[in-house]
Amino acid sequence: MMVTPPQAEQTLVILRKHFSDSLIAVYLHGSSVSSGLRPMSDIDLLVVIDSPVTDICREQLVRDLMDISGLYPVDPKGRRPLEIVVFLTSELNMLSYPAKCELIYGEWLRTEYEQGVFEGQTQDPEFTLMLAQASQEAVSLWHKEIYGLPIVGLHDIRRAMLDSLPNLELSLKGDERNVLLTLARMWYTMETGLFISKDEAAIWAIELMPVELASVLLVAKKAYLTGVSVDWENQQVEVTLCANYLAERIRVYS
């Protein structure tokens, strides 16, 4: 039985306070509902509203979320980082490509928030993938009415992954574990159209890779499951070769 993280409940209170009657549904997705939260996992929430977010609401909401979201990479209070993406029903009904969100909250944006910068509507292939995955596995945390998330077709899933690939590759250095596991998961989804956890995708990919490259992915998987740090700096050649191999498997579908 899935246990709702306490921070998710706290977040729901904040969302209901700021969105009021505009709030349609709130979903848990990601690790919370797939394989279970790992040591470094965020708490992922997908929110649906039916009215645009005002600038004042955006700022006040983000400031409240900053108070309860865990700092990355280590939070002194043991809290987890929040990742919250808010979609308008009108945008979900159209399901444009790439998908457009009304608001996003993430700890990588905290410095901008502290400087008074609060990003508005954003379009990104990552949101298309988020909706695709959520439609398969998200669990309703709260809803005013029954709301069915849109189904993203395999064509757009593959398109979004190919469009996301260059930025993912550029972020390899400094985020080796996450990038390698994300590439493995993208490869699995390209093959099957389904979404699974990062560690499950690594297990699948390792069986199909050359041994010397599979060993690098195995290290990333173990680090993900245990939270231990890895000295990636001394493995940059091996990491790059592994990432290139995985990216090539993904680009087969271009």
Whole-angstrom distance, CA of residue 142 vs CA of residue 24: 8
pLDDT of residue 37: 84
Find, among 71, 13, 86, the residue nearest to 40 by Cα.
71
Three-class secondary structure of residue 253 per DSSP: coil
- Active-site annotation holds for 83: yes
Q: What does the DSSP assignment read for 145-188?
A: S--PPPPPPHHHHHHHHHHHHHHHHHT-TT-HHHHHHHHHHHHH
pTM equals 0.93
pLDDT tens-place values along the chain, 254 residues long: 567 889 999 999 999 999 999 999 999 998 888 777 888 789 999 999 999 999 999 999 999 999 999 999 899 999 999 999 999 999 999 999 999 999 999 999 999 999 999 999 999 999 999 999 999 999 999 999 888 999 999 999 999 999 999 999 999 999 999 999 999 999 999 999 999 999 999 999 999 999 999 999 999 999 999 999 999 999 999 999 999 999 999 999 98
How far, in Å, are 113, 156, 187, 217, 236 from residue 193 at the CA level? 36, 10, 10, 22, 31
How many other C-beta atoms are found inside a 10 Å radius of the C-beta of residue 239? 24
Catalytic residue from among 59, 83, 145, 169: 83
CA atoms within 13 A on the CB side of 146: 0
pLDDT of residue 1: 53
Whole-angstrom distance, CA of residue 23 vs CA of residue 86: 10
